[in-house]
Amino acid sequence: MRVAAGEMIPGDGEVIEGIAAVNEAAITGESAPVIRESGGDRSAVTGNTRLVSDWLMVRITSNPGESTLDRMIALVEGAKRQKTPNEVALDILLIGLTLIFLLVVVTLQPFAHFANGSLPLVFLVALLVTLIPTTIGGLLSAIGIAGMDRLVRLNVIAKSGRAVEAAGDVHVLLLDKTGTITFGNRRCTAVYAAPGVSAMQLAEGALFASLADDTAEGKSIVEFLRSLHPQPEPAAELLTGVPFSAETRLSGVDYQGRVFRKGAVDSLLDFVGLKRADLAPALTREIERIAQSGGTPLLVCADGKLLGAIHLKDVVKPGIRERFAELRKLGIRTVMVTGDNPLTAAAIAAEAGVDDVLAEATPEKKLARIRHEQNDGRLVAMCGDGANDAPALAQADVGMAMNDGTQAAREAANMVDLDSDPTKLLDVVQIGKELLVTRGALTTFSIANDVAKYFAILPALFASIYPQLGVLNVMQLSSPQSAILSAIVFNALIIVVLIPLALRGVRVQAASAAALLRRNLLIYGLGGLVVPFVGIKAIDMLLTALHLV
C-alpha cells in the first residue's frame, strides 16, 4: 500500500518503493525522524509511525496481533509489580500477631473451665476484636492518601499510596534519555564558520536557510542566531520555502534569486559539488567532534558556497546533573536507558552525570534489566515517556511517566509528572521515606497498644475466676463487662485520634537506622503502652458514671 506524508503506517512491513523520513517517536521515543527506503538495512518500517515527508510503498508483513505495538502490549500485560520488603514484613507481622492473639483467646475458655468458671462467648469475640492489630490496618489508607496529596502539591499524580511508599526504598533509577534526561528535540547549540567565511555570513546563511523550517530543530536555529547576531529579516511572503525531502536530505529557502540550503553533511556536499576530502581540516575536525559528542552536524551553503556547520544536540535538561548527585548521596544508582549507539550514549551520560548506561535498548532489554535488578533484591524506579518504555514502567516498583509522553507510558506507570521533570523523583523519594517512617512509628504504637490492652483487660476478666490475678488489675475496672466495652470504645477512638498524625506524617530526620528505631521505641512504643491504660480507665469511669454498665 502507498503511504504519503502525514499519514500513519498501518502495520510492520518492508519498503518496496520510495524514500521518506519517518517519525518513530511513538515507538522508540527518539524525536529525530529516520530515513526509510527500499533495499538495504533501512527498509523495515514499524506500524503506528508517521511519515513526515515524501511517500513510501509498503508491503505489510506482520499478521494481526503480531506487530511491534502488539508485542509491547503483551509485555505490559505480562509485567507484574512485586511487593516491597516493607510490605512483606508488615504482612508477616500482622498475620503473625493475629494468629498469636487468636490462639490466646481460644485457650482462655479451657483455662476458665479448668478453674470451674466460664467466660461468655461474646466476651471472647469482643476481646479478639480488640486485640487483633486493626489500628495500623485502619491507618494504612490514611498514610497512602497523605503521600498522594503531598505529591499533588509537586504536580505529580500518584495512582496509589503504595507507589509513594515504594519510592522511599528505591535502590536503582532507570531513566529514558529522550524527553526525560534530555528535552527530546535537537537544538542548535553552536555554529562553526568555514575558513574564509565571516561569522555574520554564516549567521545570515543559516538563518535564511531555517526561516521556512517549522520543525523544532529549525526554530531552535533561528532562535539561536537571532540571539547571537541580530539582523534584519525579510518578509515571509518574499521567501520560497524548500521543505525537507528524504531523497535530497536538504531544506532551505530561495530569496530574490539567492539560494540558501542546509542539510546532512554528505547531501549538502553533493549539492555544492564537493567531497569530504575537499573540506578544510579545521571544519572536518569540528564535524567529527560534533558526531563523537552525540550531536548532529549540519552544513550550510548560500549560492553554492559552503559557509560552515551547525551543531544540533539533544540538550540535557538544566540542573539534572546536580539532582543526580543528590540521588547518589541517598544511595540511589542512576542508569540512563537509550536506543542510541554506545558512543553517543556514553557522551550524553557523561554530561548528565549518570552512574551507568544501557545503550541500544529495546523494550525487551529494558524489561530484562529491571527484572534482573529486582531478582537481586533491589527496588527499581523507572522514568520514561515513550510507548517503548511502557513495559518497563509497568514492571518497575515505581514507574513515573512524563506528562508530555505517550498515552501508553502514562497508563503503564503508577505516577505521572505533570511538569515532565524527572529530577522530581528526589522529592518523591523524600516523601516516600516520610511515609515509611510514619508507618513504622504507627506500627510500633499499634503493637505496643495491643500488648497493653491485653494486660489491661485480662486481669479484669479473670479476677473472679483466678483471684490471684487481682494483683494485676491495677486499673481496678468496675466489671468484666465494663472492661470489654471500654476496650472496644477505645479501639475505635484511637484510630480516629491517630488519623491526623497519619495525614501529617512523621518528619524524617538525618539519623542512622538505629537512632530512628530508638526514637520510635521511646516515643511511640512507650506511648502505645501507656495510652491504653489511661484511655480505657477514663472510658470505664465515664461508663460507670453514666450507669451504662
385 appears as a binding residue in the annotation: yes
Torsion over CA: 44, 49, 51, 55 (sign): positive
Helices (H), 79-174: 85-114, 121-131, 134-153, 161-167
| Rounded-to-integer distance, Cα 383 and Cα 317, Å | 14
Q: Give the closest residue to 332 by CA, choosing from 90, 509, 166.
A: 166
Q: Give the closest residue to 133 by CA, choosing from 520, 454, 535.
A: 454
Q: Which amino acid is located at 303 in the chain?
A: D
User: Which among 12, 169, 176, 340 is annotated as catalytic?
Assistant: 176
261 appears as a binding residue in the annotation: no
**C-alpha cell, 161:** 499510596
Let me know: does 395 contact 79? Beta carbons within 8 Å.
yes
Let me know: does 535 contact 456? Beta carbons within 8 Å.
no
213 appears as a binding residue in the annotation: yes
404 appears as a binding residue in the annotation: no
- Using alpha carbons only, give the angle 428, 434, 435 rounded to the nearest 5 degrees: 90
446 appears as a binding residue in the annotation: no
| Rounded-to-integer distance, Cα 390 and Cα 516, Å | 37
Torsion over CA: 409, 413, 418, 424 (sign): negative
Contacts 24+ apart (CB under 8 A), 211-216: 211/236, 211/239, 211/241, 211/253, 212/239, 212/241, 212/242, 212/243, 212/251, 212/252, 212/253, 213/241, 213/244, 213/251, 215/244, 216/31, 216/185, 216/186, 216/187
421 appears as a binding residue in the annotation: no
| Rounded-to-integer distance, Cα 311 and Cα 287, Å | 8
246 appears as a binding residue in the annotation: yes
- Using alpha carbons only, give the angle 24, 30, 31 rounded to the nearest 5 degrees: 80
Helices (H), 417-524: 425-462, 480-504, 513-520
378 appears as a binding residue in the annotation: no
247 appears as a binding residue in the annotation: yes
53 appears as a binding residue in the annotation: no
Whose cell is 505496643? That residue is: 448
248 appears as a binding residue in the annotation: yes
Q: Which amino acid is located at 436 in the chain?
A: L
Active site residue 397: no
250 appears as a binding residue in the annotation: yes
Q: Give the closest residue to 501 by CA, choosing from 474, 531, 475, 470.
A: 531
SS3 137: helix
What are the distances in angstroms from CA 176 to CA 334, 393, 442, 447? Answer: 11, 10, 37, 43
| Rounded-to-integer distance, Cα 44 and Cα 50, Å | 14
| Rounded-to-integer distance, Cα 180 and Cα 392, Å | 14
Catalytically active residues are 176
Could you list the residues known to form a binding site, using ranges: 213, 217, 244-251, 262, 385, 389
Could you list the residues known to form a binding site for Mg(2+), using ranges: 385, 389
